[in-house]
């Protein structure tokens, strides 16, 4: 009678346990790398927006402003950077804001998902501030800046500021 060779139940359970352990090690590292790449994207997008704001300032002797300066510019005001002169091809979206995020709907800026900027064009020193909600996904009006050394998902927003009178 020929003998059939097969894995026993214990051998299969050991293989499954080893695969589960390897997955438990790999998945958090993948998620952290994905978060770090989003932070790098936010910083690159903010640099692009900063260049667009500065070139707009050079051409127009001031930053884009709304009807009632000084004010926080909701994303609807950033069209001035794309039309009629394209200082930036398209206004980038903040990857940390989701359009269906209920905590942001009805807030000061809604859930638009774009970078919000502040322009005080009536002050002697014209300045602007771009900010992202950051990895924690909530907007905090504080001096707390996002720093990955505090943990990849830590409190704080990502800011980028500039001034016409440097």
pLDDT at position 91 is 81
Distance CA 71, CA 58 (A): 21
Q: Give the pTM.
A: 0.72
pLDDT at 153: 74
**According to the model, what pLDDT value does residue 156 have?**
76
Specify the pLDDT at position 19.
97
Which pLDDT score is estimated for 110? 38
Euclidean distance between CA atoms 94 and 35, whole angstroms: 13
Residues of the chain with confidence (pLDDT) below 50: 99-112
């Amino acid at each position: 009678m020929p003998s059939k060779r097969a894995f026993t139940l214990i051998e299969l359970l050991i293989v499954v346990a080893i695969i589960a352990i390897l997955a438990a090690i790999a998945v958090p590292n993948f998620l952290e790398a994905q978060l770090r790449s989003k932070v790098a994207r936010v910083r690159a997008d903010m640099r692009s927006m900063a260049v667009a704001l500065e070139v707009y300032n050079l051409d127009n002797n001031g930053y884009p402003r709304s009807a009632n300066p000084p004010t926080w510019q909701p994303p609807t005001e950033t069209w001035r950077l794309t039309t009629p002169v394209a200082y930036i091809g398209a206004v980038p979206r903040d990857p940390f804001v989701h359009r269906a995020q209920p905590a942001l709907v009805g807030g000061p800026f809604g859930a638009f998902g774009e970078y919000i900027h502040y322009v005080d064009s009536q002050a002697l020193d014209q300045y602007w501030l771009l900010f992202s909600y950051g990895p924690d996904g909530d907007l905090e009006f504080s001096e707390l800046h996002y720093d990955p050394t505090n943990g990849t998902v830590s409190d704080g927003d990502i800011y980028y500021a500039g001034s016409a009178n440097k």
